[in-house]
Chains A and B, each alone.
Chain A
Amino acid sequence: MTGLTDLGIAAIRDGVRSGDFSAREVAQAFSAAVEKGRALNAFTVETPDHALAAADAADAARAAGALKPLSGVPLGIKDLFATRDVRTTAGSRILEGFEPPYESTVSGNLFAAGAGMLGKLNMDEFAMGSSNETSAWGPVLSPWRRSDGGNAPLTPGGSSGGSASAVAARLAPGVTGTDTGGSIRQPAAFVGITGIKPTYGRCSRWGMVAFASSLDQAGPMARDVRDCAILLEAMAGFDPKDSTSLDLPVPRWEASLSADVRGKRIGIPREYRIDGVPAEIDEVWEKGIALMRDAGAEIVDVSLPHTRYALPTYYIIAPAEASSNLARYDGVRYGLRRAPPNGNLTDMYEATRAAGFGAEVKRRIMIGTYVLSAGFYDAYFNRAQKVRALIARDFERAWETCDLLLTPTAPSAAFALGEKSNDPIAMYLNDVFAVPASLAGLPAISVPAGLNAEGLPLGLQLVGRALDEQSVLDAGLALEERAGFAARPEAWW
Chain B
Amino acid sequence: MNAPYRIQGATGEWEVVIGLEVHAQVTSRTKLFSGASTEFGAEPNTQVSLVDAAMPGMLPVPNVECLRQAVRTGMALEARINPWSRFDRKNYFYADLPQGYQISQLYHPIVGEGEVEILTDEKDEGSAKRIGIERIHLEQDAGKLMHDQHPSMSYVDLNRSGVALMEIVSKPDMRSPEEAGAYIRKLRSILRYVGSCDGNMEQGSMRADVNVSVRRPGAQFGTRTETKNVNSVRFIMAAIEHEANRQVDVIEGGGTIVQETRLWDPDRAETRSLRSKEEAHDYRYFPDPDLLPVELSDDFLAECRASLPELPDAKRRRYETVLGLTPYNAAVLTADVTTARWFEELLAALGDSHAQRASNWVTGDLFGALNRLGRTIEDSPVSPAQAAGLLRLTADGTLSGTLAKQVFELMLETGDDAEKIVEERGLRQTSDTGAIDKAIAEVLAANSDKVAEYRGGKDKLFGFFVGQVMKAMQGKANPAVVNELLKKALG
A contact set with B: CB distance below 8 Å: 81-82, 88, 90, 95, 98, 100-102, 104, 205-210, 212-214, 240-244, 320-321, 323-324, 326-328, 330, 332-334, 345-346, 349, 369, 372-374, 377, 381
Contact = CB atoms under 8 A, between A and B. Distances in A.
B282 A327 contact: no
Interface of A is mostly: loop
Interface stretch (B183-191, B245-253, B288-296, B380-388): B288-296
Given A327-B100, A349-B93, A209 B292 contact: no
10 contacts: A82-B55, A100-B55, A208-B57, A210-B56, A241-B59, A243-B62, A244-B290, A328-B99, A333-B98, A377-B284
Contacts of B95: 332, 345
Nearest to A317: B289
Given A205-B59, A210-B290, 11 more contacts: A210-B57, A240-B61, A243-B61, A243-B292, A324-B101, A327-B93, A328-B99, A332-B98, A333-B55, A345-B154, A374-B282
Interface string B129-171: 0000000000000000000000000101000000000000000
Contact of A244 (B89, B91, B94, B292): B292
B101 A243 contact: no
B61 A98 contact: no
B461 interface: no
B291 A243 contact: yes
Interface of B is mostly: loop
Given A243-B62, A330-B93, A324 B284 contact: yes
A321 B286 CA distance: 9
A209 B61 contact: no
A209 B285 CA distance: 21
Contacts of A241: 59, 61
A330 B100 contact: yes
4 shortest A-B CB distances, which residue pairs? A327-B100, A214-B289, A213-B289, A372-B284
B53 A333 contact: yes
A315 B455 CA distance: 110
B389 interface: no
Nearest to B97: A327
B128 interface: no
Contact of B56 (A82, A212, A214, A372): A82
Contact of A328 (B60, B94, B98): B98
Most chain A CB inside 10 Å of its own CB: which residue of B91, B99, B154, B286: B286
A420 to B, nearest CB: 28
A96 B305 CA distance: 51
A102 B55 contact: yes
Most chain A CB inside 10 Å of its own CB: which residue of B50, B62, B89, B284: B284
Contacts of B93: 327, 330, 346, 349
B452 interface: no
A333 B54 contact: yes
B58 interface: yes
A332 B98 CA distance: 8
A483 to B, nearest CB: 36
B291 A104 contact: no
A106 B482 CA distance: 89
A302 B286 CA distance: 34
Given A243-B290, A328-B98, A372 B57 contact: no
A176 B101 CA distance: 29
Interface string B353-378: 00000000000000000000000000
Contacts of A207: 57-58
A242 B289 CA distance: 11
Contacts of A333: 53-55, 98
Contact of B57 (A104, A212, A324, A369): A104
Nearest to B62: A243
A98 B285 CA distance: 29
Contacts of B57: 81-82, 100, 104, 205-210
A369 B284 contact: yes
B316 to A, nearest CB: 42
Most chain A CB inside 10 Å of its own CB: which residue of B55, B89, B156: B55
A12 B240 CA distance: 75
Contacts of A327: 91, 93, 99-101
A208 B89 CA distance: 20
A212 B288 CA distance: 11
